[in-house]
Every structure is written in C-alpha cells, then in structure tokens.
Structure 1
Amino acid sequence: MKKILVIDDDPTICMMLQALLKRKSFDADAVFSAGEALKKLENNQFNLVLSDFRLPDFDGLELLQKIKSMHPQMPVIIMTSYADIRTAVNAIKMGAYEYVTKPLNPDEILLLINSALEKSSEQKSAQKSKEKKKNEEVNFVRGKSSNSQQIDQYIKLVAPTDMSVIIEGESGTGKEIAAQRIHYDSKRKKKAFVAVDCGALSTDLAGSELFGHIKGSFTGAINDKEGQFEAAEGGTLFLDEIGNLSYEIQVKLLRALQERKVRRIGSNKDIDVDVRIVVATNEDLSVSVNKGNFREDLYHRLNEFKITVPALRNRIEDIELFANYFLELSNEELNKTVAEFSPEVIEKFKSYSWPGNLRELRNVVRRSVLLSPERKVEIISLPNEILNENNSNTAILEGSDLKLIQAINEKELIISTLQKVNYNKSKAARMLNIDRKTLYNKIKQYKIDM
C-alpha cells in the first residue's frame, strides 16, 4: 500500500484528503505544520507528499527544499489557494511534481497522485535496471592476455579475504570494475558495494559524505545524515582517486580503518562499522607519500594488497574481445544490429595507442555503431584521432620507456579533450573522468598552453 503524507494547516482539508485517499486504498497520514511534517519524514517512509504552499511555520518552497534534501526522489505536489505563475514555475524548478490550486478537484488530485507514483516507480525501476546492468558488466575486463589473466588470478586470491586493496592504473582502465569484481567474488557480495569519487569532494563535503553528520553540526545540516561508511555496512566501500583526500580527512580515515569506528560530524558518539576498503588511484601513492602529500601510515594500512590494471595498449590481445563486447552493448543501447568490425577496423584498433583506455574504446565503438549504416563497422566510421594518429609520435615512442609513453599519450588526450570542449575545464574533467584539481595539476605538469 502506497503511503502519502498530507500537509495543510486546515484540518478540514486534511480530513477530506485522508478520507479520499483511504477510499482509493492509500495509506494517508496528515499533519498541520512543516515542522510536524519534517519529523514524520525523518522517522517514516512515504511514497509521496501532498503539501499546502502557505503553512504557519514555513512557506511551500522552503519546505519543498528541505523535503528534497532528505528524499531527493520523493514526488511532492504543492497545493495553494493563491494561483501565481512565477511561484508555480519556481516550485517545478525546485523539484515539485506539480502545482495545483484550491478548491481541489478530487479526480484531478487522484490523477496527479497516480501519475507521480507511476513516474517514481519507473525511475526506481530504471535505477535498479541500471545497477543490474552495471553489475553484469563486472565481467567485461576479463581478457585473454597474460596481463588480464594475472589480474583475474589476483582478484580470485584476494576477494575471499578482508584485506584492503589498492588498485592502480591509468584513467579509464577499469579500476572500479576490478573493485566490483573483488566485492562480488567475496563473502560480502550480498551486502552493499558503495563507490565514492574522492576527487569530487571538498574537505568539508568529504567528512560529511564519508562519516555523516548530525543535525545542526554546520550551516545547512538540517537533518542527520548517514555517511558512506554506514551505508556500506557489511559490504565494500570503494574510494576512487583516494589521493585527492585532504590531510585532515586522511587522519579520520586512518582512525576508521584501525578502530573500525566512525564518528559523525558534530557527534561525540562512535558508531561501529564492518566495512572492507578498496581504493583506486591513477597515480603512484608511494610517490605521493615521499612528497608528503599522502600519509605514510594510511598508505601502509591500505596497501595490504595491490593490483595494477595495465593500460589497454599493453593488452593488445584483448582489444578485439573488448571491442566485440562493447559492440553488443552499443547495439542494445542504440537499437542497432551491427554484427562485426571489418578487418581494417580491427587492425586500426590494435595499432592505436588508446590514451583513454577501455573508456575511450567503448566510446569509439558506440560512435562507430551509431554511424554505421550497414551490419559491419567500416574504417570510415572511426574518429579522426584513430585514423590520423601522429606517426611522428610513434617514431619517438619506439625508443622511449613506458613512463614516457604514458605521459605523451596522457598529454595528447588532455589537449584533445580541451580542444573539443573549447577549453572548458569543468567539461574536460568530466569527459576525462577526473576531478578539476587533478586536471589543473596535469595541465601544469605537462605545461599545456591555455
């Protein structure tokens, strides 16, 4: 039975709506103020909120904002006796499902409620489908090359344990997929796998995101918040781009790992947590330790086992296998029926340096499938960066060591991405799947002219 919260300072309207909803087999609860509503929402699960705009303690937009901060996906329908287009537009922009005027039409209200609940259900189903698909993709990094087989062997060895794992590798090599495989091959597989992008977190946000906070602990903390350590209880917490965490957060993380306890910001109470930690980095953390950017004690606590995911250019035997897998995914996603790649395309794939690794390969395959009118991907469907890869760079690379090769490829990818987005650093960082801080550091490191 769907549960609906009605908020209105007019008891008559509350009683009328409760009676109407109960006749239609809804479980309806009613309160007369925003404060009461927020308490109800903290302690109970509701499927939808039906709220008056003008309440004795909050106006509708302020309450809407608070509800959305607590339950982002919950549909909210705003009711008012004062029709105002600007207010209605603002309400919709802030996340309201709909804005209706009084006197209420019972049929209209029921239609809106059913529509909102149906849409909410579809969104939840889509999210579950997305998560299921993501879980199914855990297998895609399994290749036949010796490098891939070694990764498989390491994952099989470490997954059943509770050891902390550092996964190193260039951007786009599939580090999160390797972390998921560790989780789903472990005894924790029935519990949550929680992924956190540390590169996207400021110092203040990182503390709240990882450890949670209590109401009133800082400006904007209007409710208690569960941290990701608590969300991952019994399962695996994956910290991507771990090297971006501030020194202060590193100290708190070390304590959480050593004592298996976390403390929400503003609280004096410890919470026991049982979480396995897997972290990823596209840089060598030992170098960061030597530079004083990463705590040595935390590094050794995390480095119980290390897996290095090799670049795609070092797994040439796997390229056709991965390309065919991405071909299947792209056909499903784009509703196409492309069956294969031409031999010339496969040859190009194997000779290209793939600075963006598996992520770049997937994007190239998706684009090629979209552009292919026939059942075969031909050379003409490939992007220019593959068709016209700089031969002079190839000549230089033949006499270079691996680190130099990686640096040249990474620099080229950054320059190419910046050019594509007209040097918009935020967009470039998103396309490269790194945070802005890392992008700025790379631009400075490679002396890229902006």
Structure 2
Amino acid sequence: MRPKVLLVEDSTSLAVLYKQYVKDEPYDLFHVETGQEAIAFIERNVPQLIILDLKLPDMSGEDILDWISENQIPTSTVIATAHGSVDIAVGLIQKGAKDFLEKPIKANRLKTSISLHLKQAKLEHLVEDIESKFDRSRFHGFLGSCLAMQGVYKIIDSVAPTTASVFINGESGTGKEVCAEAIHKESQRKNMPFIALNCGAIPKDLMESEVFGHIKGAFTGANTDRKGAASMANGGTLFLDELCEMDLEMQKKLLRFLQTGTFTPLGASKEVKVDVRILCATNRDPLVEVEEGRFREDLYYRVHVVPIEMPPLRERGSDIATLAKHFLKIYAKEDGKKFSGINSDAEALLKKYQWPGNVRQLQNIIRNIVVLNDESKLSISHLPAQILKNKASTTKPVPSPTSMVTPSAAQETLMTARESTPLNEAQASGQIPKQEMNIRPMWQIERETIQNAIDFCDGNVLNAAVLLELSPSTVYRKKQAWEAEDERSAV
C-alpha cells in the first residue's frame, strides 16, 4: 500500500504546484484547505505524514498540531511557513512537529523532506513492532512501559515460579504491594490466599498475635481463638510490608518461622506447621538498618534472596502521563464526569514534577481534580499549587541526570580548553590563536557519541538508544542522514 501524505494548504494554486512536484513519487498526496477538513480526513484515515500550513481560514496550524498531540495521532507533521514565521515554526518543533519548510517550497526540498520523513516513520513503526514483542505496557496491576518497569516485569517472570524469598525495595507509593501480588499471581500458588500485613501500622504488642495468632485467654481481651496471617496464608503467599519496622524480638521469632515453617500461637503449647511463601518489602535501606542494629543480619540474608527495586515515579518518563490518563478515565467514569484527556501543557508539567509521593500521590491528585471539576480536558488551571510551583523553576535550564554525573563530550572539550587556556585579557583581545581552544562543531561530537554507543552495543541501535537516553527512532534517523551525506560526498 502506498504511503499517504496530507497537504493542509488554503492556497489552491500552491497545492496544484506541490502536487505537480511530486506526481512521480511513490506516495499519494491529498489536499485539504481548512483545519476542520484536515481533522476530518485524519479521523477517517491517518496519513503517514502531514504538511501543515500555519495560517488557515478557520484555525491555526498550531491548533491542529495540539489536536494531533492530545489525541496521540500516530503521524508525523512538517510545518509549512512563510519567511517571517520561521521562529514560530521552530517553536512548534518543541510541541511535536518534525521539521519545517519555508515557503515558497522548492521542488527538490519538498521531495527530499517527504521522502526523509516517510522513511523515518517506517523505521519508527519497525522499532515499535520490535519493541512490542518484548515490552509490556500492562502487567497484572501495573501500568507502564518504561525501561525500569520492563526490568521489574522480567524479574517477576523469573522469580514467581520458584520458592525463593523476594525482598522488594522502593519509596512509599511506588507499588511494592502491587509487585508482591503480581509475583503471587504468576506463581503456582495463584489459586491460594494472598495475605498482606503492614508491619509499620501494627503496634509492637499486637505484632506477634497478628502474625501467628492467639488462643482464647492468651491475654486480656482475647475472648476467642484467632488465626494469624501465617495461618490464613497457608498454601499461599504472606506479604510483610515495611518489614524493617518490626522490633528485634519479633524478628527473631519470624526468622525461626522462616527456617522451620512452624510457629506457636500466643498462649498455645503446640506448634503449628504451615506452607507459606514469604515476600517482604521496605521503603528504607535494609543494609543501613542492619548496620545501625535495627534489623537482624541473619534475617536480612534469609529474606534478601532476590531483590526487586521499584523505580520512583519521577524516573518513569512517559509512564507519568500514561498513569495520569488512566486514573482520569477511571474516576471520570465512576463519578459521571466529562474528562477524557489531558492538555499537552498540563501533561508537560506532570512529567516535570518530582512526585515525592510517587504513584499514590498522582492517583490522589487526579482523584481530587475529577471530584472538583467537570470539563472535557484536564488543563493547567486544574493542577495543584505544588505542581504549578515547578512551572516557574523550569524556566531555568536544569542539567540532565546524565550530565550531572558524567560530562558530555562537548563539556569535556570545553573544560579541557578552559583549563589549558585561561580566559585572560590577551585571549579576549584575540592575541591567542583560536585553534588552541580545540572546539569542534556540535554535530561532529553528537555523531561521534552516537557512533561510539552503537559500536559499544555491537551495532544494536536499540541498545545504543537506551544508553544514550534517546528515542530509537531519533538514533535511526540521525544515522540514516549521516550515511546519506557520506554517500553524496563520495560521489
């Protein structure tokens, strides 16, 4: 099937000219004159590429670009703009446009741009098809497809069928109990009970009774026999959340239970034997707790067989928007509200916020917004103060985590130059030759860095993109452009 290109241009004469330019090319060019016609066309049959004029009779090209972004239309957009609007077009690239063409568009420029972006779109779909074979966006109670979560899913797949103890570590609200339930549901015990106990929410004096149970008369108020969590989980899984909150004496009894599979209920004289798999979790650093004497070392090594680190929400990238939209649709349906999506500017703020309370905080904020408002789209005006404060701070450039840890090649070049050639008056006046600064064009450094990553990954572009923290399609596109340039230079 031939690719489809949609030209959104209110000038019929220009549209006829552009169609003449590409009449022999291996794709079909369709033309509409207004924004509404463009939206209707896209809804019927999504084109692989859209060439979008900025000024239309009924709306601006920016409005259409926002609509494409908000509805997550799988297409590429190139802006067609007059000379005086180039700065606006460049700004729209930050909102999702792939490129811009300055009008009047020359034949070779139009054909080259369309060809390049159609090839890029084909590569992106290829990458998505490859990734979809290995990546999951949903996994039991989890929602998210970032690299860190894919790692969590794979560990769960590996450990669930075994009897090994699992220790789940992560900040509050990252989904430690969801992880434990996923392990249980993937295990051979999935049809047996899953019992969760929050050790941090149980008073010290009641902990032993909650875990092991008691018999009538064991203590004041014990009017009947009561099964503990260990008995209720027999044949299934017992999840002990916030294990580091448990006092040392109870830790000793838990260790014996883990070693023997037996325990004695409070007030009883006879041991009880059960078959239980133990999963544990904490939001503290267990090794620090061991070093400071609050957590038994022997218990640590007994339960810390397979560790799983739950990533904080701030490190999950696009998962933030995915989760926000998920919660928005759920609560809107529950409460009969009109919310159906999130505006792109509000989505950008959600992604930039640090989320100290992680997924639980995001869930509560979305719940609050739905309860107090009833509009079709979640906008910036709906966001709480703590997220809006972040908007002001983002006006200053913030170095990426990678650049804070390891300087980029460009930074190393500049730092080396500064150390070897101080910026004194002689240099400022031009008396020192510029070549001593050893500054190279950024495109050379970028190409060298990307190629080094690809070589390091034995030619695997997907792995190289992960190391570089770039989209695989971006790496493919740059690599293809450089190779094409090399071929032209060789001719």
TM-score > 0.5, shorter chain as reference: yes
Q: Deviations over 1:178-225 (max 9, x none)?
A: 111011111111011111110011222000000001111111111111
Find the counterpart in structure 2 of residue 251 from structure 1: 252
Q: Distance in 2 between matches of 1:262 and 1:328?
A: 46
Cα RMSD for the two superposed structures: 2.4
Find the counterpart in structure 1 of residue 463 from structure 2: none
Question: Conserved in 2, the CA contact under 8 Å of 1:348 and 1:386?
Answer: yes
Counting aligned pairs with the same residue, the percent is: 44
Please give the residue correspondences for 1:188-203 in structure 2 after superposition, counting only pairs within 5 Å.
188-203=189-204
Please give the residue correspondences for 1:9-24 in structure 2 after superposition, counting only pairs within 5 Å.
none
Classify 1:187/1:324 alpha carbon distance in 2 versus 1 (closer, same or farther; 3 Å): same
Find the counterpart in structure 2 of residue 334 from structure 1: 335
Question: Conserved in 2, the CA contact under 8 Å of 1:214 and 1:267?
Answer: yes
Following superposition, the deviation at residue 140 of structure 1 comes to 4.2
Q: Distance in 2 between matches of 1:375 and 1:392?
A: 28
Find the counterpart in structure 2 of residue 366 from structure 1: 367
Find the counterpart in structure 2 of residue 206 from structure 1: 207
Please give the residue correspondences for 1:288-437 in structure 2 after superposition, counting only pairs within 5 Å.
288-389=289-390
Question: Conserved in 2, the CA contact under 8 Å of 1:372 and 1:378?
Answer: no
Please give the secondary structure, in 2, of the residue aligned with 1:388: helix
Find the counterpart in structure 1 of residue 219 from structure 2: 218
Question: Conserved in 1, the CA contact under 8 Å of 2:234 and 2:275?
Answer: yes
Partner amino acid for 2:222? A
Q: Deviations over 1:100-144 (max 9, x none)?
A: xxxxxxxxxxxxxxxxxxxxxxxxxxxxxxxxxxxxx97342411
Partner amino acid for 2:295? F
Find the counterpart in structure 2 of residue 270 from structure 1: 271
Classify 1:366/1:204 alpha carbon distance in 2 versus 1 (closer, same or farther; 3 Å): same
Following superposition, the deviation at residue 374 of structure 1 comes to 1.8
Q: Distance in 1 between matches of 2:301 and 2:396?
A: 40
Question: Conserved in 1, the CA contact under 8 Å of 2:238 and 2:279?
Answer: yes
The structure that has the greater radius of gyration is: 2
Q: Deviations over 1:3-56 (max 9, x none)?
A: xxxxxxxxxxxxxxxxxxxxxxxxxxxxxxxxxxxxxxxxxxxxxxxxxxxxxx
Following superposition, the deviation at residue 394 of structure 1 comes to 9.9
Q: Distance in 1 between matches of 2:209 and 2:222?
A: 10
Partner amino acid for 1:236? T
Q: Distance in 1 between matches of 2:335 and 2:175?
A: 23
Q: Deviations over 1:254-279 (max 9, x none)?
A: 01100001110111111111111111
Q: Distance in 2 between matches of 1:397 and 1:204?
A: 49
Find the counterpart in structure 2 of residue 231 from structure 1: 232
Question: Conserved in 2, the CA contact under 8 Å of 1:140 and 1:325?
Answer: no
Question: Conserved in 1, the CA contact under 8 Å of 2:239 and 2:279?
Answer: yes
Q: Distance in 1 between matches of 2:196 and 2:397?
A: 39
Q: Distance in 1 between matches of 2:295 and 2:254?
A: 12
Classify 1:263/1:317 alpha carbon distance in 2 versus 1 (closer, same or farther; 3 Å): same
Tell me the TM-score normalized by structure 2: 0.52
Q: Deviations over 1:75-124 (max 9, x none)?
A: xxxxxxxxxxxxxxxxxxxxxxxxxxxxxxxxxxxxxxxxxxxxxxxxxx
Q: Distance in 2 between matches of 1:193 and 1:353?
A: 32
Partner amino acid for 1:375? S
Find the counterpart in structure 1 of residue 262 from structure 2: 261
Partner amino acid for 1:347? A
Q: Distance in 2 between matches of 1:332 and 1:205?
A: 40
Classify 1:214/1:352 alpha carbon distance in 2 versus 1 (closer, same or farther; 3 Å): same
Following superposition, the deviation at residue 379 of structure 1 comes to 1.1
Question: Conserved in 2, the CA contact under 8 Å of 1:214 and 1:225?
Answer: yes
Q: Distance in 1 between matches of 2:158 and 2:377?
A: 40
Question: Conserved in 2, the CA contact under 8 Å of 1:138 and 1:180?
Answer: no
Please give the secondary structure, in 2, of the residue aligned with 1:389: helix
Partner amino acid for 1:366? R
Find the counterpart in structure 2 of residue 78 from structure 1: none
Q: Distance in 2 between matches of 1:307 and 1:290?
A: 21
Matched, 1:179 2:198: no
Q: Distance in 1 between matches of 2:166 and 2:335?
A: 36
Following superposition, the deviation at residue 392 of structure 1 comes to 6.0
Q: Distance in 2 between matches of 1:289 and 1:278?
A: 19
Question: Conserved in 2, the CA contact under 8 Å of 1:214 and 1:266?
Answer: yes
Tell me the TM-score normalized by structure 1: 0.56
Classify 1:145/1:379 alpha carbon distance in 2 versus 1 (closer, same or farther; 3 Å): same
Q: Distance in 2 between matches of 1:215 and 1:390?
A: 59
Q: Distance in 1 between matches of 2:300 and 2:213?
A: 23
Classify 1:396/1:356 alpha carbon distance in 2 versus 1 (closer, same or farther; 3 Å): farther
Following superposition, the deviation at residue 162 of structure 1 comes to 1.3
Please give the secondary structure, in 2, of the residue aligned with 1:225: coil
Following superposition, the deviation at residue 361 of structure 1 comes to 0.7
Following superposition, the deviation at residue 393 of structure 1 comes to 10
Please give the residue correspondences for 1:92-241 in structure 2 after superposition, counting only pairs within 5 Å.
139-241=140-242
Classify 1:400/1:393 alpha carbon distance in 2 versus 1 (closer, same or farther; 3 Å): farther
* Structure 1 unpaired stretches of 5+: 1-136, 402-450
Question: Conserved in 2, the CA contact under 8 Å of 1:212 and 1:226?
Answer: yes
Question: Conserved in 2, the CA contact under 8 Å of 1:142 and 1:152?
Answer: no
Find the counterpart in structure 2 of residue 280 from structure 1: 281
Following superposition, the deviation at residue 383 of structure 1 comes to 0.7
Partner amino acid for 1:177? V
Find the counterpart in structure 1 of residue 33 from structure 2: none
Question: Conserved in 1, the CA contact under 8 Å of 2:349 and 2:390?
Answer: no
